[in-house]
Amino acid sequence: MQKQKINSLVWFRNNLRVEDNRSLTNAISNSDNIIGFINLDPRNFAPTKYGFKKTEKYRAKFLLESITELKSQLDKLNISLIVTHDYLDKSISRIIKQYEIKKVFLQSEWTRDELLEESYFPKNVDLIKDFDQFLYSPNDVKTLYENIPRGFSNFRKKCEKYLSVDDILPIPEPLDFDNKIPIDYPIPSLSDIGFNLFDVHEKSVFKFKGGEINGKKRINDYFFNTSNVSTYKLTRNGLIGEDYSSKFSPWLANGSVSVKYIYNQLKKYESEVDQNDSTYWLYFELIWRDFFKYVSMQHKEKFFSRDGIYGDEKQWSTDQKTLSNWINGKTSEPFVNANMIELFETGFMSNRGRQNVSNYLTKELKIDWRIGAEYFESMLIDYDVHSNYGNWLYNAGIGNDSMPFRKFNPKLQSERYDPDKLYEKTWLND
């Protein structure tokens, strides 16, 4: 039976890639005419109630680079990409009417802001959703758990024992050029969305650049060109340099590469080069990423609430001077200060740093954890709603930590992870 000729829209959200993209693959399989669509909503770059821009310059620049790369990749598939800079409700109504869109293929989301976005679509348009951001698919995990356990270890062990990771989807074959809908929407510049041009800080641990090709290049370098993954478990708590950790997170966060692609390359590395505790530990971290997504899916609004998932009406402070000192690296703890200055100057911070500064803000300074989470949302180049809020809940003692009262000592942490004070000197001596 011949496919019905329907104008379909692929709405790219946090899946800015062509390889292993289920929405794109499904759209091509079920449509003749396809348009890609991305909207840069001004609300995503505006100040929120705590006074931070929802998205700051670091992630904004990385996002525009990723969109530019996606447009180039889609051109090779004879698919045009519409990029609009408007309120989504206005933009999507205009595009659907103009191009007579009948179907919209999109990655399924479940958190508050993303669900609000979906509500803007007209009711007469079919939204065809898929879960495409997991290592282990929701359908498979549901066979193990109706309710995700509080502890990560139980989740990890069952997934490892009973589930398998799906194969990645190949890059689709190009569409018939005669069916291409010719559209040329310019990609907004950084200044168009409210930011000045800037250079990456000279002390940045990595010169991140967005896009699928750059993400794959980093994966290939970290695995096959350097074999740095073979020492990941030993170096992952580092603070300085390109290679103490994988640095895959920015591309994962906006979906320039899929988690299954990384897993696939990791398995190839283990088969062809080396398999040890370090290669396993990177896989271990990918499961953590899945875990926070399932936790947010289960607990919904509690995931963002004042008392978190397992809180007990703690008395949080919103003292502005205390908060300002934390943000600007002016606390009494040099280790905390160095990490906060690195974040401000580069949009990135090590995992060790993130644990320390969030634990310090919530358990020492007693500041409302949601303010810290929102500041990270603004500043981090690799912001991911599930991992960010999940980790903040964890470090505030109201999430999935089996020892919710644990409290880091920044001085001891500095002695252990920065014994020669090289990291502190890097960021505190300017």
Q: What is the pTM of this model?
A: 0.96
Instruction: Say how far apart CA 319 and CA 242 lie, in whole Å.
Output: 36
% of the chain surpassing 70 pLDDT: 98
pLDDT for 342 beyond 60: yes
For 220-274, what is each residue's pLDDT tens digit? 999 999 999 999 999 999 999 999 999 999 999 999 999 999 999 999 999 999 9
Mean pLDDT of 280-292: 97
pLDDT for 307 beyond 60: yes
CATH fold of 212-299: 1.25.40
pLDDT for 1 beyond 70: no
Instruction: Say how far apart CA 247 and CA 218 lie, in whole Å.
Output: 8
pLDDT for 312 beyond 60: yes
pLDDT for 430 beyond 90: no
% of the chain surpassing 90 pLDDT: 88
Instruction: Say how far apart CA 166 and CA 137 lie, in whole Å.
Output: 8
Q: Is 381 helix (H, G, I), strand (E, B) or coil?
A: coil
Confidence label for 402 from pLDDT (cuts 50, 70 and 90): confident
Confidence label for 184 from pLDDT (cuts 50, 70 and 90): confident
pLDDT of residue 5: 60
pLDDT of residue 181: 79
Number of CB atoms found within 10 A of residue 405's CB: 7
Kindly give the pairing relationship between strand 33-39 and strand 80-84.
parallel
Please list the helix, strand and coil fractions of the chain in percent, rounded to the nearest 5, in that order. 50, 5, 45
For the record, the structure tokens of 147 come out as 């309710």
Confidence label for 6 from pLDDT (cuts 50, 70 and 90): low
pLDDT for 4 beyond 90: no
Mean pLDDT of 11-23: 97
For 110-131, what is each residue's pLDDT tens digit? 988 888 899 999 889 999 999 9
Instruction: Say how far apart CA 58 and CA 196 lie, in whole Å.
Output: 11
Instruction: Say how far apart CA 124 and CA 6 lie, in whole Å.
Output: 14
pLDDT of residue 311: 80
Per domain, the residue ranges of the chain are 7-132, 212-299, 305-428
Residues near 180 by Cβ (< 8 Å), separated by ≥ 6? 78, 79, 80
For 24-80, what is each residue's pLDDT tens digit? 999 999 988 899 999 999 999 999 999 999 999 999 999 999 999 999 999 999 999
What superfamily in CATH does domain 7-132 come from?
HUPs (3.40.50.620)
DSSP 186: P
pLDDT of residue 179: 73
Mean pLDDT of 379-385: 98
Mean pLDDT of 166-189: 89
Q: What are phi and psi of 39, to 5 degrees?
A: -120, 130
For the record, the structure tokens of 82 come out as 């519409």
Mean pLDDT of the chain: 94
For 236-246, what is each residue's pLDDT tens digit? 999 999 999 99
pLDDT of residue 161: 96
Contact between residue 7 and residue 100 where contact means Cβ atoms under 8 Å apart: yes
* 305-428: CATH, from 1.10.579.10, 3.30.499.10, 1.20.1630.10, 1.10.150.530: 1.10.579.10
Contact between residue 171 and residue 18 where contact means Cβ atoms under 8 Å apart: yes
pLDDT of residue 26: 96
Instruction: Say how far apart CA 386 and CA 283 lie, in whole Å.
Output: 18
Q: Which residue has the higher pLDDT, 182 or 229?
A: 229
